[in-house]
Amino acid sequence: MKEKDTSHIEIYTMADCIDEMREDLIKGKEKGTTTYIDGMDDAWTWRLNEFNIWTGYSNEGKSLFLRYISLIKAIMEGTKFAFYAPEDFPAKEFFDDIIHTASGYSTDKDNPNFIRKELYDEMYNRLKDYFYFVYIRPPKNNLIEVLQSFIPLIEKEGVTGCMVDPLIKLARPKEYMNADDKYAAYVTTMATDFSRQFNISLHLVMHQLTPRMQENGLYPKPSMYNIKGGGTWADGTDNINSIWRPLYARDKQDDEVMFTSQKIKKQKLVGIPQDVKFRFDRKTNRYVNSETRQDLFDFDAHLRVPRMKLMF
């Protein structure tokens, strides 16, 4: 009988792990690191080796908020990120949006808040080394191809944050075409293993099932159990966060936003599930305090960008 290949199987004893266990005991386990946003760290923090899902309704800011907190991490710590975000293709649109947030000025020439070229170039020079945009042409845009595209960026460029935005833009393998629960188990298994194997923070953006409008004309709060594809998603990930515009269904101009950490697997290390309210400033492309309307993060101070009157 031909000997079976067992190279993919790993078996550990307590003796194999005791040195690292003792080190954790003395130094403490690795905790999540700050978002630099007041109040948010109580709900969720960045932690390597973890797989996160971000969910919410269409066009309510899931992707925007994920880019926003990634930008802050890049500015404060030099963290590098890789985004597979085909809905933002061509890549220049993705990078333009980052410059809009960092500077607080629009990159749309027809906008009265239009950025000066000198400031645009300054933002480019400050941020160009922190973000990578991955695009994979269909039909090869499946999960394995996306994860494999991240590997050289992790190993050679030092990327520690990888984003797949959104899941719906991934080509689903034929064997899972009509089996949502099995596909969810497959994706969460592969994504969790990838985050552990490469010691990164991995993020997947997902939509909610089509909601039923309530009597007050609003949609209910997004739920981790209403993620498109079934409840299996909630079982297979480390953390689930949602972004919700509570009044958006009734008033598209309302800017209230609610971040919610709905599931935190390692609560002692990452945060306690809870809500955090703030608002979105369309002009600056930034999030602000819900009461004072001050920026949640002071980009101007950390980038030393003077808020001067535009000259035309």
Residues 6+ apart with CB under 8 A from 46: 32, 33, 34, 35, 73, 161, 201
Query: All domains of the chain, ordered by start, with CATH?
Result: 48-209+220-303 (3.40.50.300)
pLDDT of residue 9: 80
Supply φ then ψ for residue 175, to 5 degrees.
-70, -15
Q: Concatenate the DSSP letters of all residues of 97-157 into one string.
A: HHHHHHHSSB--TTSTTBPPHHHHHHHHHHHTTTEEEE---TTS--HHHHHHHHHHHHHHH
Beta pairing partners, 207: 56
pLDDT of residue 6: 73
List, for residues 290-299, the tens digit of each pLDDT value.
999 999 999 9
pLDDT of residue 305: 54
Q: What is the dihedral of CA 83, 86, 90, 92, to 10 degrees?
A: -30
Query: Alpha helices of 158-298 — where are they, by DSSP H?
Result: 180-197, 232-235, 267-270
Q: Which residues of the chain have pLDDT under 70?
A: 1-2, 304-312
pLDDT of residue 311: 39
pLDDT of residue 312: 35
**Residue 88 near residue 274 (C-beta atoms within 8 A):** no
**Residue 219 near residue 59 (C-beta atoms within 8 A):** no
pLDDT of residue 79: 98
> Rg of the chain over CA atoms, in angstroms?
21
> DSSP state, 252?
T
**Residue 222 near residue 61 (C-beta atoms within 8 A):** no
The dihedral region occupied by 45, where left means phi > 0, alpha psi between -120 and 50, and beta the remainder, is: beta
Q: What is the pTM of this model?
A: 0.92
How do 161-164 and 286-288 pair as beta strands? Answer: unpaired
**CA distance linking residue 39 with residue 257, whole number of Å:** 14
